[in-house]
Structure 1
Amino acid sequence: MKFLTAFLILMSPIFGAWSQTDFPNKPITLVVATPAGGATDKTVRLLAKQLQLKWKNGVVVENRVGASGNIASAYVAKANPDGYTLLVSAGPFGINPSLFKTLPFDTKKDFVPVAQISSFASVLLVHESFPARSLNDFIAVAKNPKDPLAYASAGSGTAQHLGVELLKSKLKLNLNHIPYKGGAPAMNDLLAGHVKVMLAGMGDASPHLNSGRVFPLVTTGKTRSALLPNIPTLQELGILDFDASGWCGLHAPAGTPAELINKINQDVMAALADPAVRQGMAAMDVEPRPTTVPEFRQFMDSQFVKWKEAVEFSGAKAD
């Protein structure tokens, strides 16, 4: 009996290695914190379809919406660290540790980065009645010390809110934040002219760009948007160190074996190179972002630092 026990202990690394080369042998669940049909959800489903061809055993996209993404994060934090339950992380994942006083998990300790999937620009929109058609004109209006310029966002502490606050700090603007309960009601009031300014993700803005009711002033990406080729980026206009682009990626529960993390990362990078995936993302003005695990970890570290500063400057509180 002692001999058998010793043999099993000695052989366990071999058995473990064999089981990991067999990964995955059942469906993998990708937990999304945003509603079905949004830009992040559509991007993940494109990726999942391609990963299905590689993994064979099925990929389930599960939407767990609420609490600024914390419901989905809490669910994955408690999942078995076996590679079969992954969080589709996005902007709020990097913001929430600074925005919420307490969370039911430790963002930095309870998760490990796996791979970045995508990034997408935001666009600064103004209502058609707003007296500016360039960033310089907008700045002139927004610096009026006697009349704060109101802007809408999807809610306090969202990336759109904090992105404008970063711009406000950098350019010394006089702005007044009007938070809404989500991007849709904020966009509706912008279209109706009840509020004149909003920073919106390209996916949310794209259905309205040809409506004539809003005008895009500038985008936040490193290159011009394919949907708005005539609209400059902030970097083109000399605002070089500003980045409020959206993103999504994959995180796994802490304790997931490094071998599995690396395998999933490599499979995601291969899927992002597929022409059908890239074409589908391009149609939404979403850019594939294949990264190594260390690169994604470095990106996340920069997100935590940037949004901590923005939360402190703005005084943002969780809704």
Structure 2
Amino acid sequence: MSDTSQIPDGQVADAPAGNWVDRLAPAATRPYLRLSRADRPIGTWLLLLPCWWGLFLAMAVSGRMGWYDLWIFAGCAIGAWLMRGAGCTWNDITDRHIDGAVARTRSRPIPSGQVSSGQALAWLVAQALLAFLILLTFNATAIALGIGSLALVAIYPFAKRFTWWPQIFLGLAFNWGALLVYAAHAGHVATPAVLLYLSGVGWTLFYDTIYAHQDKEDDALIGVKSTARLFGDNTHAWLRRFLVGTVTLMALAVIAGLVGQANVLSLVIALGAPWAMGWHMAWQLGRLDIDDNATCLALFRSNRNAGLLAALFLAIAALL
């Protein structure tokens, strides 16, 4: 269980010490930025990276790129920040009573009294509307996919109340960008995009199970379900399965998109994405201690680098 007794007033327990929100943001904005997890940027990366995977794979498959792809790349970054913020705000509204009973989360803005639920709801709407304006700059297929993702975003906070597998719902929501952004470039969703999406779901099951081990004691007391509680001492075995699934599905996505094309070098480089990401996940697994909260949090955050490795190889393949 986390010790929150030494946390400065207003700061969230699991935010990195000295983050820019606590140091630089105007005091009036800090509760809202904390609702958006701006002080904990890892979630934005985990939402953004599947978007970039989808863009780079679509570019590699089509063999073309243009100035509009630069906007897609940048628009994804802005949209991921906004939608991650909106999703986290929604999560904190729905979980406000649960968060108050968990040591790691009771310092969040709503249970700690920094903002009201009504203020949080207004902030959610503002973020979602700005993200929608960015979505409108994409093609019709991507817009439809973006609107369709809202159902997953809305359901996720409630999943831990009715299933031991809430991480599946998180994975379905967080990796939707792989489909959306592939379509933003290609104009349609194809088999490589679906396989890439499913690979991302496996990755989310991997990293969010690690993350959930921080709260397993409090979750057990209040009856909240998670894969961390479900797997218990068998966590390492399950994570190995998710690792293999993630790597296999990403490799199949690359093969489905690039096999048969004239540019064999692009295929070889693109297959480096699942290879490099798999090695990073194996490194995490070798260092995981499910009873050490600090280690769980550090390994969870390291998944930014795992996802960036895959993005790097796919980007190089797209440029060839």
TM-score with structure 1 length normalisation? 0.29
TM-score with structure 2 length normalisation? 0.29
More strand by share: 1
Structure of greater relative contact order (alpha carbons < 8 Å, 6+ residues apart): 1
